[in-house]
C-alpha cells in the first residue's frame, strides 16, 4: 500500500514538472514572437519608403525644402517685423500647398520640372557631403544662410546657391494670385536653363 502511495506521488510530481516545462516553453516562444514584432514593423516601414517612385521622391524632397525655407523666412520676417511678408508666406502654405498636395498630376509635373536641379544637387551632395542624405544636405545648406557656402559646399562666389534656389522658388509663388498661375511660376523657376547653367559653370 505504501509503495502504491509513493508511486502516485512520483507520478503526480512528474506530471506537474512536465506541465511547468511546457508552460515555460510556450511563454518563451511567445516572448520571442513579441520581440520580433517591432522588427517586422520596421521592415514594413522601410518597404513603404523604398517603394516611392522617382517622381514621388523628388516631390517629397521639394516640399521638404519648401517647409524648411518657410520656417527660416518666418523667423526672419518676425525678427524684422515684416508682417505683410510673413502673412504672404503663410497664405502660400495655407492655400497653395494644400491644393498642390491634393493634385497628384500636378505633383508629378512639378517633380519632372525639378529633375535637372535634383540631379545637380545630388551630384554636389556626393562630392561635398557623401555621408549625408540629400534631405540632410539641403537642410544644412538652408540653415547655413544665404551668404555662407562653406568653402563651396553649398555654392560659390559668396553665395549659397541651394539657399537661393529654394528662396527664389518660394518668392515666385507669391508673385501670382491664382493657384494655377503660382504652379506655372514654380515650373518656370525650376526649369530655368539660365539658372542651372549659371550654377553648373560657377559652382564647380
* Cα three-residue angle 171-149-204, rounded to 5 degrees: 100
Cβ–Cβ contacts within 10 Å for residue 77, how many?
A: 18
Q: What is the pLDDT of residue 76?
A: 72
- What is the radius of gyration, based on Cα positions, of the chain? 30
Write down the pTM of the prediction: 0.72
Better-scored residue on pLDDT, 29 or 85: 85
Q: What is the pLDDT of residue 166?
A: 95
Check pLDDT > 80 for residue 58. yes
Instruction: Domain ranges for the chain, please list them.
Output: 54-202
Check pLDDT > 90 for residue 82. no
Query: Minimum mean pLDDT among 36-40, 47-51, 77-81, 150-154: which range?
Result: 36-40
pLDDT digits (tens, 9 = 90+) for 145-200: 999 999 999 999 989 999 999 999 988 888 888 999 999 999 999 999 999 999 99
Check pLDDT > 80 for residue 25. no
The average pLDDT across 48-66 equals 87
Q: What is the pLDDT of residue 94?
A: 76
CA 162, 163, 166, 169 torsion-angle sign:
negative
Q: Answer whether 143's CB lies under 8 Å from 69's CB.
A: no
Question: What is the distance between the alpha carbons of residues 73 and 89, in angstroms, rounded to a whole number?
Answer: 8
What average pLDDT does the chain have? Answer: 79
Question: What is the distance between the alpha carbons of residues 55 and 63, in angstroms, rounded to a whole number?
Answer: 12
pLDDT band at 72 (very low <50, low <70, confident <90, very high): confident
Question: What is the distance between the alpha carbons of residues 200 and 187, in angstroms, rounded to a whole number?
Answer: 19
Better-scored residue on pLDDT, 43 or 132: 132
pLDDT > 70 in the chain, percent: 69
Q: What is the pLDDT of residue 22?
A: 45
Check pLDDT > 60 for residue 70. yes
Q: What is the pLDDT of residue 31?
A: 39
Amino acid at each position: 500500500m505504501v509503495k502504491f502511495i509513493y508511486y502516485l506521488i512520483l507520478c503526480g510530481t512528474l506530471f506537474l514538472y512536465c506541465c511547468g516545462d511546457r508552460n515555460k516553453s510556450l511563454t518563451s516562444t511567445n516572448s520571442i514572437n513579441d520581440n520580433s514584432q517591432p522588427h517586422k514593423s520596421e521592415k514594413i516601414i522601410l518597404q513603404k519608403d523604398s517603394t516611392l517612385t522617382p517622381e514621388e521622391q523628388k516631390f517629397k524632397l521639394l516640399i521638404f525644402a519648401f517647409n524648411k525655407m518657410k520656417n527660416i523666412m518666418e523667423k526672419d520676417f518676425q525678427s524684422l517685423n515684416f508682417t505683410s511678408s510673413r502673412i504672404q508666406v503663410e497664405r502660400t502654405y495655407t492655400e497653395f500647398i494644400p491644393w498642390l498636395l491634393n493634385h497628384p498630376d500636378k505633383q508629378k509635373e512639378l517633380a519632372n520640372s525639378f529633375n535637372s536641379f535634383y540631379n545637380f544637387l545630388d551630384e554636389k551632395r556626393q562630392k561635398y557631403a557623401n555621408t549625408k542624405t540629400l534631405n540632410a544636405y539641403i537642410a544644412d545648406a538652408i540653415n547655413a544662410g544665404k551668404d555662407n557656402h562653406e568653402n563651396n559646399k553649398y555654392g560659390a562666389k559668396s553665395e549659397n546657391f541651394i539657399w537661393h534656389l529654394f528662396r527664389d522658388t518660394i518668392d515666385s509663388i507669391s508673385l501670382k494670385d491664382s493657384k494655377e498661375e503660382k504652379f506655372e511660376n514654380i515650373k518656370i523657376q525650376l526649369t530655368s536653363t539660365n539658372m542651372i547653367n549659371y550654377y553648373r559653370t560657377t559652382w564647380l
